[in-house]
Every structure is written in structure tokens, then in C-alpha cells.
Amino acid sequence: MLKNSSILITGGTGSFGHTFVPMTLKKYNPRRLVILSRDEMKQWEMAKLYGDDPRVRFFIGDVRDQNRLERALDGIEYVVHAAATKIVPIAEYNPFECIKTNVLGAMNLIDACIDRKVRRVVALSTDKASSPLNLYGATKLASDKLFVASNSYVGSQDTEFSVVRYGNVMGSRGSVIPFFLSLAESGELPITDPRMTRFMITLQEGVELVWHAFEDMVGGEIYVKKIPSMKVTDIARAVAPDARHKIIGIRPGEKLHEQMIGEEDVPYTYEYDSYYKILPAINNWYTDPKRIKNGRKVPEDFVYRSDTNTEWMERETLRAWIDENRGRIGKI
């Protein structure tokens, strides 16, 4: 589907974009891959990686600016929406700015994609959108709802919108692994709560989930990949086996465990070999065979949370991953 196509990624100079762009260029050889973001320095640095590759284009713009989005989307067939204000404490202290990007920006993109007759749009979500505890999670839940409902909003237009949701991305900038690595030589690592657990997914797995969504979607689905969990204390021991742990207490707006599918989603959730799919409650789309395909209904007591997960990552597995990717961890 993506071969010889025209693709745009919002927030494309972030961690996800730095993985999505080279993987997609290699696998699908798109005709044009446009990277939209508002940081000119990040674009300048990223552009060095691609030299004179005629397939890669850079476009300065902000999802808050609908006119600029409409210009960027000229001739685009597929969109990945990765732009977001996502650092939890910053969102709490700057709530208006978080809402402008995560909610109003989503609305702008939806309108622009419909007006420009984009074929398919996949928006990135987060575990924090499931039963949100902080403003970032609340804005991403609102964004998810907008992208799902927009499949009714398109009218006679063929544009389709879906969402992919995943948890802690291993080694991404600002995440726990590079944070622990930066403190490893001090001999002491801060632990918010020894009971805390997190889902573990690589950026490569996140990209593959987006590719799958583009291939599978009818419109309105939320895709959730099956991934392993780890206790934060085990992550710390994988990074620095001999370091002491200092318990500092859970931070405002932070969850003890990550959740990607809550009990309120159960009536609309189906299981597949490597992922789950939450179907839209509106318009009875959750009963649509074209959306269900070969899915199996999850049990009534189902919840997908990092502490009750059936799959767990071993410390040795994470340690091997760190050794293999040390040069990239926390860089993008």
C-alpha cells in the first residue's frame, strides 16, 4: 500500500520519526516522504542524515496552523500524526499549550486531511489515554476520540482515520532507560515506587504497528500491540546491577501501572495474534465484520495493564538490547 506513495509525518523529527523514516524508505520506497515539524534545528540536523535523497522533504510547520497543514498536505496520500506535547509535568504547568497542540492540533489535521483528500491517517496514542490521570492523558484521549469519530465526519469523502496506542518506548529521549544510564556511574538510582511496572516496546515495533494499521484499517480502530512488561526495579537492575535504589515516591500525575485497554473498552475489543483492536462504539461499528475480520472477543473481565500482563521481559533480554543499541539510546 505504501509503495511509491506520498507520506507525511507530523512531529517527524522526534524519536518515532527518526525510526519511521529510514525503515519506511527501505521497506516501501515511497515516492515522497515529508517531515513536518516546527523545530528548524532538529530538521537541519535530521536532513544531514539523508543528503540529497529526493524522496525526503522537510517542511517547517505547526499542527496549530491549519493553513500551513493544508499546504503541507498537497498531494499527500498517507499521514502519520506523531506531533504532541507529551512530557507530563510540562503539560500540567502549561495546560493551554498542551490542549492547543494535542486537541486543537488534532482537529486542524483532521479538517486539513479531509479537505486535501488524504487516503488514510494513523494517529499515535499512549497508554496514558486509557483512564487518564493527568492532562497529557486527557488530551490524548480527546484526540483519540476525535480521530475515531472523524470517520463519520468525512461525509462522502474517502479519508479514513485510525489510532495506534502503545506504552513506554525503550530508549527514547526522556524515557527511563537513558535516565538510568546517565546515573549508573553514581551508584544510586531513584525509584518512584518498587511496585511500579511499565510496558516495553521498541520504536521498530511501533513503526511496524503503524504499517499494519495502514494495511488493515477500515476507519475508527484503535490498535494496541501485545508487548511485555517489566518492573521498574528490574529495569534499574538491567541498567546498573550493583546500584543502590533510592525510593523517592510517585510523582504528581504518574500512574503506578500502565494501562492500554480498560474495562470500559471491553465490549468493543477484539484479540488477534500479536495485537488487540478496540473498535468504535459509535454507529454500531464494533459489530461490523469488515472491522472485526478474524478477531476474537476478549473476556468480560479483561483489562490490559502492565502489572497483570501475561508476558514479561527478563533483565537479561533488556541488558542485551541496551548493549546492542547503546549508541542510539536517548539520542533521538
Active-site residues: which are they?
128
Q: Using CA atoms, how far apart are residues 279 and 221, in angstroms rounded to an integer?
A: 5
Grid cell, residue 224, equals 494496541
Handedness of CA 211, 215, 217, 223 (dihedral sign): negative
Question: How many C-beta atoms lie closer than 10 Å to residue 52's C-beta?
Answer: 5
Kindly state the DSSP code that residue 2 receives in the 8-state scheme: -
Q: What does the DSSP 8-state code read for residue 169?
A: B
DSSP string, 199-219: E-B-HHHHHHHHHHHHHH-SS
Is residue 121 within 8 Å of residue 109, measured between CB atoms?
A: yes
Selection from 64, 75, 164 nearest residue 111 by Cα: 64
CB atoms within 10 A of CB 245: 15
Q: How far apart are the C-alpha atoms of 228 and 231, rounded to whole Å?
A: 11
Dist CA 44 CA 119 (whole Å): 29
What is the chain's Cα-based Rg?
A: 20
